[in-house]
Amino acid sequence: MGEVADGLQILDFPKSKWVVFDVHGSAPTAMPEAWKHIFSKWVPTSGYELAGIPAIEAYIDPDPYHIDALNQIWLAII
């Protein structure tokens, strides 16, 4: 593995299956709405359980505040 830049760190996650939600819209509005949907609708009806591994919020768009930004929420499932 290459060198890690100052101020960054490597995090290792256990091998797992992940569900990835694309979240469209300005992050301050879209991300909380996505979390609400995930836990009120998706988790109870998906047939999956959360694996107990920390979730990942991936801010894909260079400007996550842009009205058309694409970001993601990753949840480890079993």
Q: Is the pLDDT of residue 8 over 90?
A: yes
Contact yes or no for 50/43 (Cβ under 8 A): yes
Q: Is the pLDDT of residue 70 over 80?
A: yes
The order of strands in the sheet holding 70-77 is: 17-24, 70-77, 56-58
Q: Please state, as a whole number, how many other Cβ atoms lie within 10 Å of the Cβ of residue 11.
A: 6
Q: Is the pLDDT of residue 17 over 80?
A: yes
Question: What pairing do the DSSP bridges indicate for beta strands 56-58 and 70-77?
Answer: antiparallel
pLDDT at 1: 64
Mean per-residue pLDDT, 2-16 = 90
Which pTM value belongs to this model?
0.87
